[in-house]
Structures are given as structure tokens and as C-alpha cells.
Amino acid sequence: MRTFAQEILLHPNPADSAKRNDESRFLLKERNISGSMKKVSNKKIIRSLSWRTMWEKGWKNLIAVLAIALTTLLFTALFTVGGSMIESIQEATFRQIGTSAHGGYKYLSGEEYEKIRQAGGYEDISYDIIAGFGASPELNTIQTEVRYAEDKMAKWSFSYPEEGEMPHELHECAASSKVLEALGVPLRLGEKVPMTISTHDREGNERKIEAEFVLSGFWYSNDASHAQEFWVSRQWLEENIDLLEENYNSRMNERGLYHAEGSIQASIWFASSYDIDSQMEELTERAGFSDEEVRISVNWAYASATVDTVTLMLGVGILAVIILSGYLIIYNIFYINVTTDIRYYGLLKTIGTTGRQLRRMVRLQAFMLSAAGIPLGMIAGWFVGKGVLPALFEALFTDGVKKVSLNPWIFAGSALFSLLVVYLSCIRPCRLATGISPIEAVRYVDNARYKKKERKTAKVSMGRMALANMGRNRRKAVSVISSLSLSLILLSGTWCLVNGFSFDQYVKTYLLTDMQVGHFSTVNFAADASDYEAITPEVRAEIEQMPGVEQVRVPEHKGGRIDLSDEMIGKLTEYFASEEMVSESGPWLEQIVEQIQTEKATNGTIYHLGEDMMSYLDIKEGKFDPELFAQGGYALLLVNQQDKWVRVGDKLTAGSAKEALPKKELEIMAIADYPYAISTRSTVIGGVELLLSEKDFRELYDVKGGLYACLDVEEGREEEVMLSLNEMIEQEHPELVLSTKATLEEEFAGETRMFSMIGGLLSFILALIGILNLINAMVTSILSRRQEFAMMQAVGMTGRQLEQMLTMEGIWYGIWTLAISATFGNVVSYGLIYLVGKNMAYFEWHFSILPLALSVPVIGILSVLLPVICYHALCKKSIIERLRLTEV
């Protein structure tokens, strides 16, 4: 058997095909006989035949392997970026929910917890016990939960000490930096922490405990979670708090006791996050509880890691492009391979190989090549994921996505998608191999699609002949041209997108006046809740005194509650009940709407602008009457908010019973657009943003400062003012940030860099695929026409003329590619850019032919060079040798 393989290796040209075919016939017969005797299926022979057919091609397989590897690389890169984004969104959601565990139980007694722990079937379990709530006056604005927790539980709740450790000794405690700062305790281990804790005893009587703890650990809290943790030791808990000893639900129902102090909260991890609902139910059952007895909670972040629609569509779009480009090249390679080998397949068919077996042969070869290409692509993908993407992410995402997710699933997914592409690519070549009749196969010439019967006589020029040659196999030409066009379209799309970002628009969006000083939370969304009074009267005065500053204006904001009448609750319910709203916002929305309905109040952001800034408002609906407005009793609804359940004429009550503040009913006078640059830059689902008159604002709220200071600067003194501002920020107010045209320029560059890098990288790899496809098509078409060329040379075509003709073929590919990219391609890229850009305030469409123009020389050089190289490889054999091939 080895000699057969060697034979093939020694004679890689079709001249030896007769000999080879004889031997393979012999081989088949021999195997078939032994096969039928042993009743063994013929799979083995097909497999070995596929292997040898593929092996015989030698270096020609390289292109197929490279194509598969590049496709896999693209999938890996896409999934890594996508996976990392989903993971970071998920993590942000975990932090909001307060845990990363799959599920858990609330309000358990010690006995109940033990039963669940022993029920097993989960991956990990841990718990905490509620001791009470922080009741020191300094903690009024911060919800502080006092609990004991196991180390694991603390980690899962994102509240594990970064400095020091969890409390072990009686009076030790660990707390978040936010709580400690509020209490005025320096962030140093061993500091004394005075604390008032509000708790309930077993009978539900409220009790206050004054205690002094010693700080054993703390962590930096910089997330959006509502509640802060204050950990105490187990010993302290046991000495001071009554532990829950009965079932919480029955105690609540029978004795009406709601308090949760002394109860255990359990968190559970399963082996997988698949269908956590059922897994929790099964665990409950195993532990011997009914659904009514215990309170199950499921972490819905696992069910709905929602990515916004634009990102999702972009991802799906890129996936489609990769599948298409992968298909185009892999399909073309296999199609050409089968065409080249068609006589061989015809012969196999003559001697009794069935269509099914031939199909299997083609597919097997494809999968053997995948076995080499996919791991290669995954290794390259790993390097890209490890090396390129972290740097990319660093540049792209100022907050949020930092980690690169190199999950094994990403590799499994990429491999699967590549296999899918390979499988799809094989369908047509398989059909060709099986569909051909043996007699046809022997006479098959590479002009399957050349159905023309006649053509008009015209002067024979190398260019026209080249064009006709391209038309001989349209399928091949179409695949190569589409493949090349794809990368050009993407390149010009990226170019137009990046150039469409208008810096002027960007500045208008983020900067209202010459310069702006704001709290850092306005630029760092991962920061703690905003300080709406960061620009205190003192800061304002200091800025006003700076030489060069003409004017300082401070818009004011206040977060407050808005009471809703039953009528308004009705409008809200109706609005949010629509399917679309629910599916877009996920489970958050339901919870929020429910909360608003029960509380009959929602969160609001109340704005106030001085008269001299009112002109920045853009009235969208209704009529704004400044005099009437100034008299009080009216509000403007701001539509930075997307929710549209409040309309002109509706009445809302600013201020809430829960706050010790005055209340006032206000009528919506008009709906206005508020400049994003001086907004809080955050939205509250179901919340309302109102702008009040001077009179009402002062009456209702006690606001002493603002979130921003908007500066008008004397012309020519910008530099000077910037220096003084920076000095002030550095030395006195590190919580403030300065926005100027210069700082925005940097941010802008960062944002556009993301698109140019991703788009550039993608077009580069696609271009590589396109070029590979061109090389393959060129090389194979030249090889299969060896005899034809020899004959033309025999009747007197010079080498130069042949070279010219081949070059013209290459140039035709280039011309077609450019023509398609310039016409159809521009339409497609316009659509693509429109999708991505329409949601960006600072995007302006610019048409540009420049990227195409720039790629002309590249395509030109390639299309001229490739055929010439191929021709010279061809020339190594003399005309006679090549002519003789025909006589076989």
C-alpha cells in the first residue's frame, strides 16, 4: 500500500493519471473483495482513498488549510470580543443585583439551611445572616446592611475585603469604603468604627444597638449597587441578635412578623447556568420543602445578558460577512479541486463507486483539511485574543470591558462555525462530483459554465481573450470577485464611518460653552452616584475670579421623588405593557414598573436653569410661555428620557411624602430637548426629568451648587484659564474634571479608533482571504490550461503574448472587483454605516471614493504580478512536454 502512496507522490501530474487510475482500480477491487467477504462496510476504503487523493495534491492543500484557518481566526476573534462584552455586561448586572450566584433562598432558619446544604446536587453553597441596618445619622443616604457572612458569600456579593480580612474577633468589622467615608472613618485597618444598628428582636420589637467596632478589612465600592455591606463577626451576631428558629413564611402568616433579622440568606452555584429555575425547584424538592415554604430567588442576569440592538445587529452582520467570505473561498477551492479531478471521479464511478461514496470522499477530504486548518486558526485566534485584543479593549472601552474572555466555549464555537462553513462549501462540489456521468467526466473540459454556442467574430486581442477565458468558469470568477469585493466594501465602509464622525458635532454634544467643569461621574459611568452639588458656591466664586473668565453659569439638578396620581399610574401601566418595551428592557423593567405602581411614585431628576440659559432648550411639543412659567406651578418635561408616558397637560407632584420636603403639583407646559452636555448623562427607566422655574425650584429644593460650571472665556486666554482650572482641580478638587475642546479631541480619537481598528483588521483579513482566493483561482486555471497554452505557443504565440493574456485575466478580475465595489458595494456600505451611525449624535455621512482609489494600485500590482509568477512557474516545462499531456 505504501508504494501506491509513494507512486502518487512521485507523479503529481495528470500525465500519470492513467497509471495511477489503473492502480487505484486494482486497489478498489482488492479491498472490495475482502470487504464483501468479511461483510465490513466500505467506509475504510473510502477514507483511505480520500486521504490519498488529498495527500497527492501536496502543497495545493495549503491554500485550503489557510482559508479554513483564516475563517476560524475570524470567528474566534469575533466571539472573543462578543463574549467579553457580554461577560462585562453580565458582571455589571451581577453588581446591581448584588450577587453572581446562580440562585438562592431568602429568610431561612438554621435548620432549614442545613437541610438544603445536605440535599446536595449543587456545585457550591454559602450564606449570610442579617443582623440589621446601619442607623447612624451619617448613613441616612446610604442603605447599609449589617450582616455576618462566610468568606465565599462575601466574595459572591462583591463585598470581600481588598485590604485586611473578614471579621473573626468579637468586635471586628469589615465595610465598604463608601460606608466608612460617610462615617468619617479613615481607610486604615485597626481604626475604630462607631456604629448604630437598627434591628428587631424575636418578637418584632425594634431595637437600636450602639457599638464600636475595630476595622479588620475594607473594600473599595465603586459600583451602582444600592445596598452597602457592613460585615460583623459570627460571635457578635450570636451575642446580639435573635436567630430565626421557625419557618419565616409561617411566622409571617400566623403572627404577622415581617422582620428578617436573624434569618439566613443562602446562595447557590450549580454546575451550569442552564435553566436555573428548574434546578432550584429540584433542589427545593430534594431538601424536602414545598414552594410555599421557602423563598427561592433566581439570578436573572444569567437568563438575560442583554446587549443593545445595534451591537447585536453589528455582531450578527459581521458573523454573516465572515460566513460569506469563508464560504466564498472554501467553496471555490473545493469546486476547483473537484473540477480538476473530475476525470478521476468519473473513473471511480466507472469502476463502481457510488455517488454517495464520492460525496463522502469529497466531504472527507474537506474535513481532513479542516483538521489541520481549524486548530491552526484557533492557535492564531488565541494569540490575537491574548495579544491584540487586550490592547484594543484598553483603547476602546474607558469603562466596563477590560477583561478578554478566553473561554473554551469560544474556541468550540469557532470550530463549530468553521466546520459549518466547510460543510456548506462542500455541498455544490459534492453534487458536481456525483452528478457527472463517467463518459462526460473523461471528456470534461474546464468550461462547465461556458454555454455559449457562438460568438461574433472580432479582432482577437489578448484582453478580449482574457475576458472570454474568465467567462469559461463564471462560478469561479464570481466567487473570487465577490471575495475581493467584500473586503473592499468593508474597507470603504469603515473609512466612511470613521470619517463620518464629526468632531464638531461631538463637541456640540459634550460641550455647551467654551469650557466646562463637572463632577467626574459625568465622564466615568462606573463612578459612584453623582454629586449634583459638586460645583459649590465657593468653587464657582473661585472660577469666576480667574483671569480670562468672562462668565460662569451653573445649571442645577436635584434627584427627587415624583408622586403619581392614579391617572398617571394608569398611563404608565398602559405604556409599559406594550410587548416591545418589555422585550427590549428585560426583567428590570417589570420590577421597576411594579415598584412604581406600589409606591405610586417614581424617581425624578429636577433641573433648573438660569434665565440666561433657557435659550439652550429646544421646545419639541406644546407652547412655552416664559412669563406664565416664571409664576410657578408649571414644569417642562425633558425628553432626554425615552419613556413617553407623560404628555403636555399632565399633572405630576414634585416632592414626596417620604422626604421631609414640601410638595407641589405641577402641570407639564411643554416638552423640551435639554442639552446632553449639561444633563446628568444618565437615565432612569420609568423616571421623569422635569425643568422647574426659579420660584418653584427654590421653594421645593435646597440646592447649593451644580453638577457643571459652564465657562465663557475671553478669546485668546483659553490656555491661561485651562492652566488655572487644572491647578485648582489638582490641588483642591480632584473630584472635578475639565472638558475643553482639547480634552474632547482625545476622547473623540479614542472612540473613532475603535471603529477604525475593528474595521481595518476585519478588512485586512478579508482582503487576505480574497487574495488567497485569487491566487488559488489563477494557479489552478493556469495549471488546468497547460496543454491549451502549449498549443497556442506551438502555433506561434510568444511567451510575452501569453504573459500578456494572463496579466489581462488578472486585470479583469481587478476591474470587476473595483466596479462592483464602487457601485453595489457603496450602496451596501451606505446601509451598513447608516445602521451604525444613526444612533450617534455626532455622525455625518460623507461619501468618499478615496479608499477605493487607494486600493487601485494594490489590486493592480496583485493582478499583474500573480499571473506573471504563475506563468514563470509554468515555463519550467518545455512546450513539447506540455503538448504531450494531451496525448494521454
Partner 1 sequence: MIILETTGLKKYYGEGESLVKALDGVDLKVEQGEFVSIIGTSGSGKSTLLHMLGGLDYPTEGKVVVDGKDISTLKEDALAIFRRRKIGFVFQSYNLVPVLNVYENIVFPIQLDGNKIDEEYIDRIIKTLGLESKTNSLPSQLSGGQQQRVAIARALAAKPAIILADEPTGNLDSGTSQDVLGLLKVTARKFEQTIVMITHNEEIAQMADRMVRIEDGKVKSRT
For residue 375, what are the contacts with CB-CB under 8 A and spacing of at least 6? none
Between 639 and 797, whose beta carbon lies closer to partner 1?
Answer: 797
Give me the least distance between CB of 492 and partner 1, in Å please: 33
Which residues of this protein are in contact with partner 1, per CB under 8 A? 445, 447, 450, 452-460, 465, 468-469, 471-472, 787-788, 791-801, 878-880, 883, 886-887
Find the distance separating the first CA and the last CA of the chain, reported in whole Å: 25
Q: Which C-beta is closer to partner 1: that of 343 or that of 608?
A: 343
Shortest approach of partner 1 to residue 799 CB, angstroms?
6
Beta bridge partners of 296: 105
Tell me how far apart the alpha carbons of residues 113 and 248 are, in angstroms, rounded to a whole number: 12
d(CA 140, CA 463): 84
**CB of residue 466 vs partner 1: minimum separation in angstroms?**
9
Q: Please, what is the Cα angle at 453 between 451 and 459, to 5 degrees?
A: 110
Q: Would you say 39 or 453 has its CB closer to partner 1?
A: 453
Instruction: State how far the Cα of 511 lies from the Cα of 885, in Å rounded to an integer.
Output: 75
Report, in Å, the least distance between residue 795 CB and partner 1: 5
CA distance 182 to 137: 10
In angstroms, give the least distance from the CB of 463 to partner 1: 13
Q: How far, rounded to the nearest angstrom, does the alpha carbon of residue 685 sit from its chain's CA centroid?
A: 23
- Tell me whether residue 660 or residue 880 sits nearer to partner 1 (CB atom): 880
3 state DSSP class of 822 = helix
Cβ 410 to partner 1 shortest distance, Å: 48
Residue 469 CB, shortest distance to partner 1, in Å, is: 6
Rank residues 582 and 883 by Cβ distance to partner 1 and give the closer one: 883
Asked if 350 and 442 touch (Cβ cutoff 8 Å), the reply is no
At 436, is the secondary structure helix, strand, or coil?
A: coil
Give the Cα-Cα-Cα angle 351, 355, 356 (nearest 5 degrees): 120
Instruction: Return the number of the residue (113 or 789) whose C-beta is nearest partner 1.
Output: 789
Q: How far apart are CA 471 and CA 469, in angstroms?
A: 5
To the nearest whole angstrom, how small is the minimum distance from the Cβ of residue 32 to partner 1? 34
- Least distance to partner 1, CB of residue 816, Å: 17
Report the 10 Å Cβ neighbour count for 523.
16
356 exposed, middle or buried (CB, 10 Å; 0-12, 13-18, 19+)?
A: exposed
Q: Which three cell numbers stand for residue 77?
A: 476573534
Q: Are 501 and 752 in contact (CB under 8 A)?
A: yes
Which positions ≥6 away from 599 have C-beta within 8 Å? Answer: none
> Distances from the Cα of 2 to the Cαs of 5, 22, 29, in angstroms?
5, 16, 17
Q: Which is nearer to partner 1, 456 or 623 (CB)?
A: 456
> DSSP string of 549-566?
EEEEE--EEEEEEEE--H
Quote the least distance from Cβ 790 to partner 1, whole Å.
9
Closest by Cα among 773, 767, 765, 762 to 331: 773
Instruction: Please identify, using beta-carbon distances, which residue of 699 and 788 lies nearer to partner 1.
Output: 788
Question: Is the separation of the CB atoms in 176 and 145 below 8 Å?
Answer: no
Cβ nearer to partner 1, comparing 720 with 788: 788
Q: Which long-range contacts (CB under 8 A, 24 or more apart) does 575-579 make?
A: 575/643, 575/644, 575/645, 576/645, 576/686
Which CB, 454 or 746, lies closer to partner 1? 454
Nearer to partner 1, 458 or 660 (CB): 458
HSE (side-chain half, CA atoms, 13 Å) at 171: 11
d(CA 169, CA 69): 58
Sign, Cα dihedral of 243, 247, 251, 252:
positive
Shortest gap between Cβ of 755 and partner 1 (angstroms)? 45
Work out whether strand 651-654 and strand 634-638 pair parallel, antiparallel, or are unpaired. Answer: unpaired
Q: How far is CA 261 from CA 157, 185, 289, 501, in A?
A: 19, 26, 22, 55
The secondary structure of residue 824, as a DSSP letter, is: I
The angle subtended at Cα 86 by Cα 84 and Cα 89, nearest 5°, is 110
Smallest gap, in angstroms, from Cβ of residue 448 to partner 1?
11
655 Cβ partners below 8 Å, 6+ apart?
A: 560, 561, 563, 661, 662, 663, 664, 700
Q: What would the DSSP string read from start to end of 649-712?
A: T-EEEEB-TTTTS--EEEEEEEEEE--GGGS-S---TT-EEEEE-HHHHHHH-----BSEEEEE
Indicate the residue among 226 and 800 with the shorter CB distance to partner 1: 800
> Looking at beta carbons only, is 459 or 623 nearer to partner 1?
459
Q: How far is the CB of 349 from partner 1 (least distance, A)?
A: 22
Q: Which is nearer to partner 1, 2 or 800 (CB)?
A: 800
Q: Which is nearer to partner 1, 734 or 796 (CB)?
A: 796
Specify the 3-state DSSP secondary structure of 775: helix
Smallest gap from residue 449 Cβ to partner 1 (A): 12
| Smallest separation, CB 862 to partner 1 (Å) | 24
Rank residues 547 and 796 by Cβ distance to partner 1 and give the closer one.
Answer: 796
Minimum gap (Å) between residue 791 Cβ and partner 1: 4
Minimum CB separation from partner 1 for residue 465, in Å? Answer: 6
Q: What is the smallest separation between the CB atom of 19 and partner 1, expressed in angstroms? A: 17
Rank residues 743 and 801 by Cβ distance to partner 1 and give the closer one: 801
- Closer Cβ to partner 1, 290 or 457, answer by number: 457
651 neighbors 565 (Cβ within 8 angstroms): yes
